[in-house]
C-alpha cells in the first residue's frame, strides 16, 4: 500500500472550511480507489495560534513539517493581525524555507462556467502561470528607517539571482514543452526596471536557444493584462516574476470564472522538501462561518497534490468530479451563480466520486 503523510494547515478565515471539505474528498478517494493511503496530521497554526503564542507557528514548525510528503494549506491572514506578519510568519516562511520556488497556477474555464469575457472568447482559457516563488519582489530584503519623521525611508528590494531566475524559467520552458500547444509567454518589465529585469531577460534569451521547438513570445507585464482580456486564446504557459505573476494570476482566476476556483502548487521540484498545495482565494473573512465558501479551489489544489504524489488516477477522478459539478450547474456555490453551501458542493463531489467507476 502506498502511504503518504500529509500536513494539513487550514490557517485562517475560510481556510478551515475548505480544507475540511478537501479532506472529506481525499478520504473518499482513498476509500473508493484503494491502493494508497493518506495519513493526515492537522496543525492548528495561524492567527489564533499567534494571539496565544506570539508566533504563527512554533519555533520547530518547519522541522515538524519536513517529514511530510506534502502540505495542504488553507489560508493565512486575519484582520486582528497585520497581513505582513501573518503571511511572513507562516505561508511565506514555508515557501522560502522549503525552497518551493515553482508556483504553478493553472486557469481553465471549466465546463458550464461563465467567464466575464464576452463572445465565447474565453472558451479556450487553458493557461498555466508559472510564478517565481522565493525571490524577486518577495525576497524580503529591505528596511525602514527614521520612523515617523519626514525623512522616513521604506525600502523593498527586489532580489534576482542567476540561479533563481534560471531554474524557474527552465521549469516553465520544460512545462510548455510537455503541453500540446508548446507555447510560452515570457513576461517582463525591463523597459522600466533596468537591472534585475534586464538580467531576467538576458537569462531567458540564453535559455531559449535550447527550446527552439517551442513558440515563444515576450510581453511587458502591463501589456500582458490586456492580452489576457483581448486575446485569451493566444496564451498557453506564462512565466513571470513573483509579483507580476501574483497579479496576473488573480486576473486569470477572475477571467476563468471566480477566485473561488483557482488552485496553486508551491513546488520544490527536486523533492528535497515537501511541496505545498492551496487555493489562492485567501481567508475571505467576510464570508467566514457562513458555509458559503467555494471549496472547488481547495479540491483542485488536492488534484494537484495527488498528481504530485504520483496518484494520477485519483487526481483524474477528482478533476472529473469537479467538471461534472460545474457542467451540471444544479449545485454551484454563490460565487459561481448558484446557491449551494460548501457542504452541499462537497456532497455533490462525493457522490460523483462514488459513482465514478471506470470513468477515468
Residues that bind ligand IPM (CB under 6 A): 77, 87, 246, 280, 282
User: Which residue, 167 or 244, is less far from Mg ion as judged by CB?
Assistant: 244
CB of 131 to ligand IPM, least distance (A): 8
Question: Would you give the distance in Å from CA 285 to the centre of its chain?
Answer: 19
* 274, interface contact from Mg ion, ligand IPM, none, CB < 5-8 Å by kind: none
311 binds Mg ion (CB under 5 A): no
Residues in contact with 340: Cβ distance below 8 Å, sequence separation at least 6, in sequence order:
331, 332, 333, 334, 348
Among 321, 272, 313, CA closest to 295: 321
Task: Report the sign of the C-alpha dihedral through residues 323, 325, 330, 332, in that order.
Answer: negative
Evaluate the CA torsion angle 223, 225, 229, 235 in order and state its sign: positive
- Taking CB under 5 A as the criterion, which residues in 243-282 touch Mg ion? 246
Shorter beta-carbon distance to ligand IPM: residue 236 or 246: 246
Judged by beta carbon, residue 20 or residue 246, the one nearer Mg ion is 246
In the complex with ligand IPM, the residue whose CB is nearer, 46 or 77, is: 77
Nearer to ligand IPM, 68 or 138 (CB): 138
With cell 533596468, the residue in question is: 194
Long-range contact set of residues 162-168: C-beta below 8 Å, sequence gap at least 24: 162/199, 162/203, 164/101, 164/132, 164/134, 164/135, 164/136, 165/132, 165/199, 165/200, 165/203, 166/203, 166/207, 167/101, 167/102, 168/101, 168/102, 168/130, 168/132, 168/133, 168/239
* In the complex, minimum distance from the CB of residue 52 to Mg ion, in angstroms, rounded to a whole number: 28
Instruction: For residues 85 and 287, give the distance between their C-alpha atoms in angstroms, rounded to a whole number.
Output: 22
What are the grid coordinates assigned to 100, written together?
518551493
Is the four-CA dihedral 344, 266, 135, 255 of positive or negative sign? negative
CB of 188 to ligand IPM, least distance (A): 19
Cell digits for 346?
Answer: 462537497
Q: Of the two residues 17 and 246, which places its CB atom closer to Mg ion in the complex? A: 246
Q: Which residues pair with 143 in a beta bridge?
A: 155
CB of 224 to ligand IPM, least distance (A): 16
- The interface partner of residue 282, options being Mg ion, ligand IPM, none and the CB cut-off 5 to 8 Å by kind, is ligand IPM
State which residue, 28 or 301, has the beta carbon closest to Mg ion. 301
Q: Which is nearer to ligand IPM, 136 or 348 (CB)?
A: 136
87 binds, among ligand IPM, Mg ion, none (CB under 5 to 8 A by kind): ligand IPM
Select the binding partner of residue 267 from Mg ion, ligand IPM, none (C-beta < 5 to 8 A, by kind).
none
> Which C-beta is closer to ligand IPM: that of 131 or that of 308?
131
User: Nearest approach, Cβ of 282 to Mg ion (angstroms)?
Assistant: 8
CA terminus-to-terminus distance, the chain: 21
- C-alpha 296/C-alpha 278 separation (Å) is 11
Instruction: Give the integer Cα–Cα distance in Å for 353 and 348.
Output: 9
How open is the CA angle 259-277-340, to the nearest 5 degrees?
40
Contact flags string 84-123 toward Mg ion, x per CB under 5 A: ----------------------------------------
Shortest Å, Cβ 213 to Mg ion = 32
Taking contact as CB under 5 A, which single stretch among the options 46-54, 127-135, 238-246, 319-327 is the one that binds Mg ion?
238-246
Of Mg ion, ligand IPM, none, which one sits near residue 7, judging by CB under 5 to 8 A according to partner kind? none
Q: Minimal distance in Å, beta carbon 238 to Mg ion?
A: 15
Q: Which of the choices Mg ion, ligand IPM, none does residue 132 contact, using the CB cut-off of 5 to 8 A by kind?
A: none
Residue nearest to ligand IPM (CB): 246
Interaction site with Mg ion (CB under 5 A) = 246
Amino acid at each position: 500500500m502506498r502511504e503518504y503523510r500529509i500536513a494539513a494547515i487550514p490557517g485562517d478565515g475560510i481556510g478551515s472550511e475548505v480544507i475540511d471539505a478537501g479532506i472529506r474528498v481525499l478520504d473518499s478517494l482513498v476509500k473508493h480507489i484503494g491502493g494508497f493511503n493518506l495519513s493526515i496530521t492537522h496543525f492548528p497554526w495561524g492567527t489564533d495560534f499567534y494571539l496565544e503564542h506570539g508566533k504563527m507557528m512554533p519555533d520547530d514548525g518547519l522541522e515538524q513539517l519536513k517529514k511530510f510528503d506534502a502540505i495542504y494549506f488553507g489560508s493565512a491572514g486575519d484582520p486582528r493581525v497585520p497581513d505582513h506578519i501573518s503571511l511572513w510568519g507562516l505561508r511565506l516562511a514555508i515557501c522560502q524555507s522549503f525552497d518551493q520556488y515553482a508556483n504553478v497556477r493553472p486557469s481553465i474555464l471549466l465546463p458550464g462556467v461563465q467567464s466575464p469575457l464576452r463572445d465565447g472568447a474565453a472558451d479556450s482559457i487553458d493557461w498555466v502561470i508559472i510564478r517565481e516563488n522565493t525571490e524577486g519582489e518577495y525576497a524580503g530584503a529591505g528596511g525602514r528607517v527614521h520612523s515617523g519623521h519626514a525623512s522616513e525611508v521604506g525600502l523593498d528590494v527586489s532580489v534576482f539571482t542567476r540561479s533563481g531566475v534560471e531554474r524557474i524559467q527552465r521549469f516553465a520552458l520544460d512545462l510548455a514543452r510537455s503541453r500540446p500547444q508548446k507555447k510560452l509567454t515570457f513576461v517582463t518589465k525591463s523597459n522600466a526596471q533596468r537591472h534585475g529585469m534586464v538580467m531576467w531577460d538576458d537569462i531567458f534569451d540564453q535559455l531559449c536557444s535550447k527550446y527552439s521547438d517551442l513558440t515563444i513570445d515576450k510581453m511587458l507585464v502591463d501589456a500582458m493584462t490586456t492580452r489576457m482580456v483581448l486575446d485569451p486564446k493566444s496564451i498557453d504557459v506564462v512565466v513571470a516574476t513573483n509579483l507580476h505573476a501574483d497579479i496576473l494570476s488573480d486576473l486569470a482566476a477572475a477571467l476563468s470564472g471566480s477566485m473561488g476556483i483557482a488552485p496553486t502548487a508551491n513546488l520544490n521540484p527536486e523533492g528535497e522538501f515537501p511541496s505545498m498545495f492551496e487555493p489562492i482565494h485567501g481567508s475571505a473573512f467576510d464570508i467566514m462561518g457562513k458555509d458559503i465558501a467555494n471549496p472547488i479551489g481547495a479540491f483542485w489544489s488536492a488534484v494537484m497534490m495527488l498528481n504530485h504524489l504520483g496518484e494520477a488516477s485519483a487526481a483524474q477522478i477528482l478533476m472529473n468530479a469537479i467538471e461534472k459539478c460545474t457542467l451540471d450547474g444544479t449545485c454551484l456555490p454563490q460565487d459561481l451563480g448558484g446557491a449551494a453551501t460548501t457542504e452541499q458542493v462537497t456532497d455533490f463531489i462525493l457522490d460523483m466520486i462514488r459513482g465514478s467507476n471506470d470513468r477515468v
